[in-house]
A = this chain, B = another copy of it.
Amino acid sequence: MARRKKYKFPKTTIERLSYYFRALEDLSKRGIDTVSSEALGGKLNIKSSQIRKDLSYFGDFGKRGMGYDVKYLLKELKYILGLDREWSVVIVGAGHIGAAMANYDSFRKRGFNIAAIFDNDEKKIGKEINGSPILPYDNIDDFVKQNKIEMAIIAVPAAAAQAVADKLVESGVTAILNFAPVAVQLDENVRCLSVDLTTKLEALAYYMSYSQDKLWKIYS
């Protein structure tokens, strides 16, 4: 019934909370106001015990014999995930990925506001994408400081990513979503998550070539 609780929990729990949140939104939209961990798990291919355990790290949100009140759990998850406020984000790189992110309306819907996009390309500067202005990369430091930007999305080529990340952190950014296919080295008080598009396809290629439960036994 209340928030509180445990000291440590798996890193994957946060990601799952995000899935729960989305599934609950869907249920809410369809007028369903109570759900059991079993039903929620069915929707997401996640074991019910996993869901109960994940939630238990943060509090007791359900009613025994009844399940969870969808609206209430949504409110709690919103709070836990830090989605009960607006976040200002900048995107670095107005290429295809950067543009796609600027156009991705789910971000805005969740409270992630794209304050500006930065690029070096003269032809792009001055234009805007989905309402967000494209500004010169050289102005990024001032902009981040003046607007107290905390989050950034890096969508530049691998070779430039580290320099961009360093500059962002120096300006005050403390969370980075990195699309550049490279491991960015950062101070440990800066949070950085990477989305690696190639890696995912490569993993698929692997799975198609072999199967994990089969013996790996090709000799050279």
Contacts and interface: CB of A to CB of B under 8 A. Distances in A.
Interface of A: 2-9, 11, 14-15, 17-19, 21-23, 43-45, 57-59, 80-83, 87, 89, 96-97, 99-101, 103-104, 106-107, 110, 112, 150-151, 174-177, 181-183, 185, 191, 193, 195-210, 212-213, 215-220
A4 B216 contact: yes
B106 A181 contact: yes
A200 B4 CA distance: 24
22 contacts: A5-B217, A14-B207, A15-B199, A15-B203, A19-B183, A19-B196, A22-B182, A23-B183, A45-B185, A57-B216, A81-B205, A82-B210, A87-B205, A96-B100, A97-B100, A106-B181, A110-B201, A150-B208, A151-B201, A175-B208, A191-B207, A193-B204
B110 A104 contact: no
B104 A97 contact: yes
A103 B110 contact: no
